[in-house]
Amino acid sequence: MTRRGLLMGAAATSLLPFAGGSNANAGEAKSMRYTALALQTVCEAVNQDKTPEASHARMKGAIARVTGQIMASKNFLKGFNGYDLKLVVLPEYWMTGFPMGETRESWQAKAAIPMDGAFPEALAKMAQTAGVYLCSNHYETDPNFPELYFQSNVIYGPTGETLLRYRRMISLYSPSPYDVWEKYLDIYGADAVFPVVETEIGALATIASEEILYPEIARMSAFKGAEILLHPTSEVGSPGLTPKHIAKKARAIENIAYVVSANSAGITGTPVPAASTDGMSIVLDWYGRTLAEAGTGETMNANAVLDLTALRETRRKTGMTNTLSRLPLAAFAPAYAGNEMAPANRTPDGKMVQRADALTQQQAVIDRLVSAGVLK
Residue 125: what pLDDT?
A: 98
User: Is the pLDDT assigned to residue 123 strictly greater than 80?
Assistant: yes
The answer to whether residue 15 scores a pLDDT higher than 80 is: no
Q: Is the pLDDT of residue 170 over 90?
A: yes
CA gap 101, 228 in Å, rounded: 35
d(CA 243, CA 185): 32
Model confidence band, residue 352 (pLDDT cutoffs 50, 70, 90): confident
Exposed / middle / buried, residue 72 (Cβ in 10 Å: 0-12, 13-18, 19+): exposed
**Residue 303: predicted pLDDT:** 98
Q: Report the relative pairing of strands 85-89 and 162-167 from DSSP bridges.
A: unpaired
- Of residues 318, 238, 312, the one with CA closest to residue 275: 238
pLDDT classification of 16: cutoffs 50, 70, 90: very low
pTM score of the predicted model = 0.90
Bin 18: left if φ > 0, else alpha if -120 < ψ < 50, else beta: left
The predicted structure's pLDDT at residue 359? 87
The H or E element that residue 70 is part of is helix 52-81
Distance CA 233, CA 218 (A): 15
Does 20 have pLDDT greater than 80?
Answer: no
Distance CA 283, CA 260 (A): 5
CB count within 10 Å of CB 150 equals 27
Mean pLDDT, range 300-315, rounded to an integer? 97
* Stretch 4-8: mean pLDDT: 45
pLDDT for position 31: 58
Note whether 153 and 206 are within 8 A (CB): yes
Residue 72 CA to residue 42 CA, distance in Å, equals 16
Residue type, 14: S
What digits encode the pLDDT tens for the residues 243-271? 999 999 999 999 999 999 999 999 999 99
CA distance 1 to 23: 9
Whole-number Å distance between alpha carbons of 269 and 250? 34
CA gap 225, 16 in Å, rounded: 6
User: Which of the four pLDDT bands, split at 50, 70 and 90, describes residue 342?
Assistant: confident
Higher-scoring residue by pLDDT: 287, 341: 287
For 198, residues 6+ apart whose C-beta sits below 8 A from its C-beta are 1, 2, 3, 15, 21, 22, 204, 225
- Does the pLDDT of residue 19 top 70, yes or no? no
Q: What are phi and psi of 356, to 5 degrees?
A: -65, -40
Nearest to 168 by CA among 182, 146, 197, 148: 148
- Say how far apart CA 204 and CA 135 lie, in whole Å: 10
Mean pLDDT for the chain?
90
Using an 8 Å Cβ cutoff, are 270 and 240 in contact? no
Residues forming beta bridges with residue 133, ordered by sequence position: 87
Weakest mean pLDDT among 7-11, 91-95, 150-154, 335-339: 7-11
pLDDT digits (tens, 9 = 90+) for 58-102: 999 999 999 999 999 999 999 999 999 999 999 999 999 999 989
Distance between CA 8 and CA 217 in Å, rounded? 23
Bigger pLDDT: 76 or 9? Answer: 76
CA distance 337 to 318: 30
Per-residue pLDDT at 1 exceeds 80:
no
Cα–Cα distance, 62 to 267 (Å, whole number): 12
Residue 24: is its pLDDT beyond 70? Answer: no
pLDDT band at 28 (very low <50, low <70, confident <90, very high): very low
Burial of 372 (0-12, 13-18, 19+ CB in 10 A): exposed
Task: Determine the pLDDT at residue 361.
Answer: 86
Residue 137 above 70 pLDDT?
Answer: yes
Q: What is the mean pLDDT of residues 32-58?
A: 97
